[in-house]
Amino acid sequence: MKRLKFLVSAALSAAVFISSCPVAFAAVDVSQPWVECDTTVNFTLDHGKTYAYKMTVHGTHSNPKIATGNSKVLQTERTIHKTEGGNDVYYFIVHAIGKDGEAAGVYTTLPGQAAVRHSDIAIPYVAGMYKAGSSIKAGQYVLTPNKGNSGYYEIRTSPADFLDNLETYDLFNGRRYVTVKNGQYLILQHTTMIPAKDAGKFLSNNGKYSETMFKVGFDIPAGTYRVQAASSDKFSEAYIELKNSDGGSPGSTAYDDYFTGNRDVKVSNGQYLIIEYATMTKFE
């Protein structure tokens, strides 16, 4: 279990990693006309906000059909056509008009070809209290702190703020996987949330991962990893925790440790690995 000193305040400043991942689509057949997109990651977009895309058409001057998978969730607007380097280029924005928790893909279709999905956009739930089975569906969610803050969540059996009602809680950087059951209450502070099915993988930076919770078999493959404390100060400890279920399940910790220097940890599919004040690389 985490030491109490890490759970003092839900407003501590921290670096945040936006939930996103390379979209796992088929490789482009460059012998055929194709569309290059400047955004090939899944990401979140708050309700009412917009995001600008650039699409470059290669191998043809035919106009692509640009659309979203659900026009009630995401709308395409303000499409501008230009010619750059001999290619047709399309600039447009996507407007998030759906409800919190909804998601859709962004697609292009060239004449005579199947539609190509370039990325998915999810509209996140914002900070607040949610009842599983009522205001949100029961199931697994991915929580991400707001920029410049640590995130905080609680799972309660009742909306009343009594200790006896508290099942689990966490103050975190990076992100967390949490499963809620019908009748439970999920409280979010300085945090947004999307259904886990709409979340992307947590990306490394040139093979180095920053602090977060990893879902083994999705974010990272099973295997052995080396976790390195972020600070070389012998009084600054890093934290590692290996769980057999996600952050919504208390008592599922298989191993945890505070350390300086580095630790090697072996993980299996279905487990969850948390690192804090540390970085991680695949052990070769």
Phi, psi torsion values for 7, nearest 5 degrees = -125, 35
CB 141 within 8 A of CB 195: yes
Q: For residue 247, is it left (φ>0), alpha (ψ between -120 and 50) or beta?
A: alpha
Across-strand partners of 257? Answer: 240
Closest CA to 194 of 95, 107, 121: 121
Number of neighbouring beta carbons within 10 Å of residue 266: 12
Closest CA to 117 of 103, 105, 125, 102: 105
The per-residue pLDDT for range 158-209, each reduced to its tens digit, is: 998 888 899 999 999 999 999 999 999 999 999 999 999 999 899 899 999 9
When pLDDT is averaged across residues 116-132 and rounded to a whole number, the result is 97
The per-residue pLDDT for range 195-204, each reduced to its tens digit, is: 999 998 998 9
Query: What global pTM score does this model have?
Result: 0.83
Distance between CA atoms of residues 59 and 151, nearest Å:
46
pLDDT at 13 over 90: no
pLDDT at 23 over 70: no
In this prediction, residue 16 carries a pLDDT of: 30
- Average pLDDT of the chain to the nearest whole number: 89
Question: What is the secondary structure of 139-194 as a DSSP string?
Answer: EEEEEEEPTTS-EEEEEESSSS--GGGEEEEEEESS-EEEEE-TT-EEEEESEEEE
Closest CA to 19 of 218, 258, 283: 218
Token code pair at residue 189: 């502070």
Between 8-22, 71-85, 92-106, 145-159, the lowest mean confidence (pLDDT) is in: 8-22
